[in-house]
């Protein structure tokens, strides 16, 4: 472009114009400068009640079975947190070529889903409990499944809404 800016082409074929002053004073990430290897992180949630020792072993097994995952350093699986709806784990592996990162992530996710199913490890979905503080009597009767509340004809009970 000019002496004042550098054009960087992304993997999505987009061109980004970066002022040279930003390249000199700012932080630049270069994936291929010294090494093409890259770490792949795979976050995974397991349902509460799952054996927390089985999940990391299953994750490591999936990593070892993938031909793109390097054996040194060894793949690792960590139990990171008690999440809102899940026990939160993360698998970390190193692969030799950063360009393969998304494909390896996809392959590992598919293998994890398969192995979790074989080992009866449930991947949960977000859940919420609903606590009703007050409900009018007509709505309460309907919630209990008692049909039309006492003292009302079936027609009077129709159309009553929860408030």
Q: What is the pLDDT of residues 48-83, one digit of tens each?
A: 999 999 999 999 999 999 999 999 999 999 999 999
Tell me, yes or no, whether 14 lies in a domain: yes
Let me know whether 24 and 71 are in one domain. Answer: no
Q: What confidence tier does 133 reach under pLDDT thresholds 50, 70, 90? A: confident
C-alpha pair distances (Å), 84 with each of 3, 42, 74, 127: 51, 18, 30, 9
Let me know whether 6 and 74 are in one domain. Answer: no
Tell me, yes or no, whether 157 lies in a domain: no
Let me know whether 46 and 111 are in one domain. Answer: yes
Let me know whether 6 and 77 are in one domain. Answer: no
Let me know whether 71 and 116 are in one domain. Answer: yes
Range of the domain at 94: 37-127
Let me know whether 45 and 120 are in one domain. Answer: yes
Look up the pTM and report it.
Answer: 0.68
Let me know whether 8 and 74 are in one domain. Answer: no
Q: What confidence tier does 102 reach under pLDDT thresholds 50, 70, 90? A: very high
């Amino acid at each position: 472009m000019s002496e004042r800016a550098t054009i960087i082409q992304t993997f999505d074929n987009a061109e980004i114009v970066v002022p040279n002053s930003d390249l000199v004073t700012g932080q630049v990430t270069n994936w291929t400068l010294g090494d093409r290897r890259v770490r792949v992180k795979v976050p995974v949630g397991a349902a509460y009640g799952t054996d927390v020792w089985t999940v990391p072993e299953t994750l490591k097994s999936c990593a070892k079975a993938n031909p793109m995952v390097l054996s040194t350093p060894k793949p690792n699986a960590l139990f990171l947190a008690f999440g809102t709806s899940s026990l939160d784990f993360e698998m970390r592996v190193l692969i030799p070529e950063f360009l393969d990162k998304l494909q390896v992530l996809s392959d590992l996710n598919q293998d994890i889903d398969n192995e979790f199913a074989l080992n009866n490890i449930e991947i949960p979905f977000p859940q919420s409990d609903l606590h009703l503080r007050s409900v009018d009597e007509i709505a309460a009767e309907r919630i209990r499944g008692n049909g039309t509340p006492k003292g009302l004809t079936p027609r009077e009970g129709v159309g009553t809404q929860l408030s």
